Amino acid sequence: MPKFVPHALLRGGHVQTLAGYWLPGCRSPAGTIRHHVKLADGDQIVLHDDRPAEWTEGDRAALLLSGLAGCYQSGFLVRIAAKLNGRGVRTFRMDHRGTGAAVGLAQFPYHAGRSEDIRAALNSIGELCPGSPLAVAGFSLSGNMTLKLLGELPDAVPSMLDRAVAVNPPIDLTLCTAHMERPPSHLYGKHFTKLLCQQLREQPRLLTDSALERPSRPPRTLREFDELFTAPKSGFASADEYYTRSSASQFVPQIRVPTLILTSRDDPLVPPAPFESLDLSSAVTLHIADAGGHLGYIARGGIDPDRRWMDWRVVDWIVGGD
């Protein structure tokens, strides 16, 4: 794997993280088709299907999953979908419950442990692309979900799935939420908490019968949000139980699908410590870059066709064996 060397003007985890988010990417492609997938509990997720003109039945397909408070329009999903389309891969960008085009279609929230939703998406793609090998790439929170799917019930992983990528996954949720309560990372925690509360206000169905329906005050941290909303609405007794049962680190040793875990030592949201002691199965490749921030990885020139080092590592892993 080519070493990540940061752009000379974008050094440090915070700078990389913010630049990765704010610097422009590419526009969403024209002609995207939406597929609604009904889940076992009646909620729906939405898949955004970008099919290259030359794609034929049996060619590769890939499922791409955004991070916390993101959706199918997240810049890195649009960029990576376009790059994969350029390599002949049909891509499906997924909206989790209550996000993007799935706003208003759920009565239960998505969270770090909803691996069953990814399984439902993969099975739906299998029906749309019969005979096609399939890859999945999960970013940030969805990276944790992806690893949980792969290792929790290895025998239940859809048979057409032959590659997976998890980028900057928070594999120890207890550690990550605590980390985002300490300066300076607490600013990210406040930002995400505000975004999540904002999303909820637009979806009365999700707020029904929750402590946030008429809160005495809005939650100020992700732990408070999860304690008041995510855990009780998802059947967990507490935020601690939610974090313990959903953290992916415990499932990684059982993974059988060839999987790349990519993270960085200067990620301001996800500390590197859990990765350094992670028990890996023989199917898992772990790469800890010295720099890159959280979903940043904007590199110096000359390494890849453009400076988005993360994008090309995902593309290389997905198409490398074809």
Residue-wise pLDDT for 85-94, tens only, equals 999 999 999 9
Q: Looking up tokens 């939703």, which residue turns up?
A: 117
For every residue of 283-312, DSSP letters joined together read TEEEEEESS-TTTT-BBPTTSSSSSBHHHH
- Sheet strands side by side (includes 284-289): 33-38, 44-50, 90-95, 61-65, 134-139, 161-167, 259-264, 284-289
Worst-scoring range by mean pLDDT, 84-88, 217-221, 266-270?
217-221
Query: Which residues partner with 167 through β-bridges?
Result: 139, 262
State pTM to two decimals: 0.96
- Minimum mean pLDDT among 3-12, 209-218, 286-295: which range? 209-218
CA–CA gap between residue 235 and residue 253 (Å, rounded): 26
pLDDT of 322 > 80? The answer is: no
Question: Mean pLDDT throughout 237-245?
Answer: 98
The length of the chain in residues reads 322
- Lowest-pLDDT range of 60-74, 82-96, 200-214, 286-300: 200-214
Of the candidates 252, 231, 214, 269, which has an alpha carbon nearest to the alpha carbon of residue 67? 269
In tens, the pLDDT along 147-187 reads 999 999 999 999 999 999 999 999 999 999 999 999 999 99
What spatial distance separates the first Cα and last Cα of the chain, rounded to whole Å?
17
Reported as a single tens digit per residue, the pLDDT across 116-146 is 999 999 999 999 999 999 999 999 999 999 9
C-alpha distances in Å from residue 211, one per residue of 59, 122, 129, 204, 233: 47, 33, 42, 13, 9
Domains and CATH numbers, the chain: 13-172+251-319 (3.40.50.1820), 175-246 (no CATH)
Q: Is the pLDDT of residue 216 over 80?
A: no
Dihedral class, residue 307 (left if φ above 0, else alpha if ψ from -120 to 50, else beta): alpha
Is 252:152 a contact under the CB 8 Å cutoff? Answer: no
Banded model confidence at residue 26, pLDDT cuts 50, 70, 90: confident
The percentage of the chain sitting over the pLDDT mark of 70, rounded to a whole number, equals 100
Q: pLDDT-based confidence at 24, cuts 50/70/90?
A: confident
In this prediction, residue 321 carries a pLDDT of 65
For tokens 């009565």, the residue is 107
Burial per residue of 208-230, b for 16 or more beta-carbon CB atoms within 10 angstroms, e otherwise: eebebeeeeeebebbbbbbbbbb
- Angular region, 235: left φ>0, alpha ψ -120 to 50, beta rest: left
